[in-house]
Amino acid sequence: MAFGTRIGLACGAALAGVVAVAALVQPAETVDVQILAINDFHGALEAASGGTGQIGGVEAGGMEYLAAHLARLEAANPNTVFVSAGDNIGATPLLSSLFHDEITVEALDLAGLQVSALGNHDLDEGWWELYRMQRGGCHPLDGCQDGTPYGGAAFTYLAANVTLDPRRADPASLARAGIQGSDPRPLLPSSVVREIDGVRVGFIGVILQDAPGVTLASSIRGLTFLPEAEAANAAARALGDEGVRAIVLLMHQGGDRSGADVNGCDGISRDLVDLVTSLSREIDAVVSGHSHQAYNCTIDGKLVTSAAANGRLVTDIDLRIRRSDGEVVDRSARNLVVTRDVERDRRQTALLEHYRPFARAVSGRIVGSIAASLTREPNAAGESVLGDVVADALLDAAMRAPGARPDLAIWNPGGIRADLTAGSGRGPAPVSYEAVFSVLPFGNELVVKSISGEALLQTLEQQFGAPGAGRVRIMQVSEGFTYAYDLSRPIGQRVDRASVRLRGDPIVPTRQYRLATSNYLWDGGDGLRALGAATDAMLVGTDHDIFADYFSRQSSPVPPGPQNRIRRLDTR
């Protein structure tokens, strides 16, 4: 063999080796991106008992356990983004609420939350307070109660369908938010892009358009809420113009369902299906919330998920994205139970232990006792034993208020956020102020007003909404007030007017009645617009303080409510 030939062969072999090594280090044609999602966390920092602390009979939730599950999932795939579909704060237990939910934001930061949709409860203390939660700084009235600075959220809130018009906002709120000028503007960014191992993923956030119907009017003054699909599709087009092809919608809107499988969509409500179908084909996955339901399926070619509420589930979404053009070529999802059989996250434990001493003096006070567990689980008519007790407590407080002269009390079921559990011991179970606060965490004001019998009847009808308006919300009513309804009848005619009775007497449309309920409902919350005609307002007090006082004044343990005030005629 000639010398030149030997050199040629040697060079060829060396070149082949280089090519082989290059092939080994060549990036894969696709990237597997893992998106971990929660929704409606509501400051559920501590492991809860009762129904709020279980999924399918399994004890679940608690920030220490949620963070541990998140860390385990992220360790399996470093290409991970942790997201939320909103309601991270608001309607929170006492440990979070006492500190204006700063502790919840800090806990979510520790867990690595990166992006969140805006939820209606994120606005409970006002849009200007949400700005503080995002940016940081001590509370203007209470300061930094734990003695350390509050640095703000490391994660980004998104809301593609909310605009702020300073001309309609309260000047004090503009000053607190540092807003200057009078031109309308987006309240928050519409979207954000994250680059993950060389591919880009766009995240869009939207809130339900009906947020004004479930939020205190004073908290959203100056805001306009646009249709969810319209705003999401516009944001998707804008991301497409930037070359982003993998798009995830974080949507604080969701659907009801009748199925129990957390990884199914059987029995999903038609309104959610219609909404998802109206979304752009450019959107690959929809992380939804608001309805506190668990589901996971494909609708109109899009993954659609929801992880119940209170951190009891985490959704693991896997997107396979092609490097060459950024398109999603495969997708899957699963809802995983946040079990308590794992080692707790030590950083979360340390955070909770830092705050607990500041809250203990308030939270541990025993206010009374219960004879058995009081739960929010409704019967076929939508009435719960806890709802009965709440309505009775509010009526009792109004009756003791000089000059209030109430005839009845009603309370919205969405305002009752946790069960009161008796545990497994014998005899009366003590009830702490913290437990009472968890039931009614909003700090809504109980107000008594005069309302006509006709307006009261219309209010009962408005529980069922307008055609296509979504969920039915059966108001919980006080002792002595009874009625029946039939869901098979047309909307607007579902209440059997002859059945509506106050202490056995029929409601007279032309007579005036004194109704005790929350400032939230008086402002038209939950679509009860007929209450807007009421007059002669009298403030009684704050919901959770009234409820705690009711327990304190009972000479014997408070028994479960009878669930005999509301009847549903179409189930007989």
- Write the pLDDT tens digit of every residue in 51-74: 778 998 899 999 999 999 999 999
Whole-number Å distance between alpha carbons of 109 and 103: 10
**CA within 13 Å, CB half, 109:** 17
Residue 423: its pLDDT value, please?
Answer: 78
- CATH number for the domain harbouring residue 127: 3.60.21.10
Average pLDDT (426-436) is 90
pLDDT at residue 2, as a whole number: 42
16 domain-assigned? no
Which alpha helices (H) appear in 278-372, and where do they start and end?
346-363
State the pLDDT at residue 572: 64
What is the pLDDT, as a whole number, of residue 467? 53
Tell me whether residue 24 is in a domain. Answer: no
Place 22 in a pLDDT band, splitting at 50, 70 and 90: very low
Is 0.75 surpassed by the pTM of this model? yes
Position 357 in a domain: no
Residue 465, pLDDT score: 79
Query: Do residues 491 and 462 touch, judged by C-beta distance below 8 A?
Result: no
Higher-confidence residue of 41 and 7: namely 41
SS3 69: helix
d(C-alpha 401, C-alpha 549), whole Å? 13
Q: Please provide the average confidence, as pLDDT, over all residues in the chain.
A: 92
Q: What pLDDT score does 361 carry?
A: 81
Q: What are phi and psi of 454, to 5 degrees?
A: -65, -45
The answer on 563 and 467 residing in a single domain is yes
Domain limits for position 71: 30-347
Q: Residue range 148-170: average pLDDT? A: 97
At 298 the pLDDT is: 97
Look at the block and give the residue holding tokens 């909310």.
Answer: 162
pLDDT of residue 555: 67
Distance in angstroms (rounded) separating the CA atoms of residues 542 and 398: 11
The pLDDT assigned to 360 comes to 87
Q: How far is CA 158 from CA 245, 272, 323, in A?
A: 19, 21, 26
Same domain, 322 and 403: no
DSSP secondary structure string for all residues of 515-558: EEEEHHHHTTGGG-GGGGG-EEEEEEEEHHHHHHHHHHT-SSPB
Domain match, 289 and 415 both? no
Q: Output the pLDDT for position 260.
A: 83
For residues 58 and 95, membership in a common domain is answered with: yes
Q: Tell me which of 93 and 316 has the higher pLDDT.
A: 316
Give the whole-angstrom CA distance, residue 39 versus residue 250. 9
Interval 488-519: pLDDT, tens: 999 999 999 999 999 999 999 999 999 999 98
pLDDT tier for residue 155 given thresholds of 50, 70 and 90: very high
Sheet holding 501-502: strands in order across? 505-506, 501-502, 481-485, 566-568
| 15: in domain | no
- Quote the number of domains for the chain: 2
Q: Which of 31-35, 211-215, 532-536 has the highest mean pLDDT?
A: 31-35
Average pLDDT over residues 34-42: 97
pLDDT tens-digit series, residues 323-373:
999 999 999 999 999 999 999 999 999 999 999 999 988 888 999 999 999
Same domain, 391 and 306: no
Higher pLDDT, 26 or 236: 236
Task: Please tell me the predicted confidence (pLDDT) of residue 471.
Answer: 62
Q: For the chain, what percent of residues have pLDDT higher than 90? A: 81
pLDDT at position 524 is: 84
Beta-carbon contacts of residue 90 (< 8 Å; ≥ 6 apart):
42, 43, 101, 119, 120, 121, 122, 123, 124, 125
pLDDT in tens, 282-316: 999 999 999 899 999 999 999 999 999 999 999 99
pLDDT band (50, 70, 90) for residue 472? confident
500: domain CATH number? 3.90.780.10
In this structure, the answer to whether residues 411 and 339 fall within a common structural domain is no
**Same structural domain for residues 430 and 551?**
yes
pLDDT for res 157: 98
Q: Quick one: pLDDT at residue 404?
A: 92
At residue 58, the pLDDT reads 94
Query: Are residues 322 and 391 both part of a single domain?
Result: no
**What pLDDT score was predicted for residue 556?**
74
Structural domain contains residue 77: yes
**Confidence at residue 481, expressed as pLDDT on a 0 to 100 scale:** 98
- Considering 347, 376, 393, which residue would you say is the last residue of a domain? 347
On whether residue 10 sits in a domain, the answer given is: no
Give the pLDDT band of residue 235 (cuts 50, 70, 90). Answer: very high
26: pLDDT confidence band, cut at 50, 70 and 90?
A: low
Q: Are residues 303 and 335 in the same domain?
A: yes
Q: Under 8 Å CB-to-CB from 374, ≥6 apart: which residues?
A: 385, 386, 389, 419, 420, 558, 560, 561
| pLDDT at residue number 3 | 34
74 and 177 belong to one structural domain:
yes
Query: Would you state the pLDDT for residue 23?
Result: 46
Averaged pLDDT, 254-280: 93
SS3 helix, strand, coil % of the chain, rounded to 5?
35, 25, 40
Percent of the chain with pLDDT over 70: 94
pLDDT score, position 445: 87
Cα 283 to Cα 332: distance, rounded to the nearest angstrom: 14
372 and 343 part of one domain: no
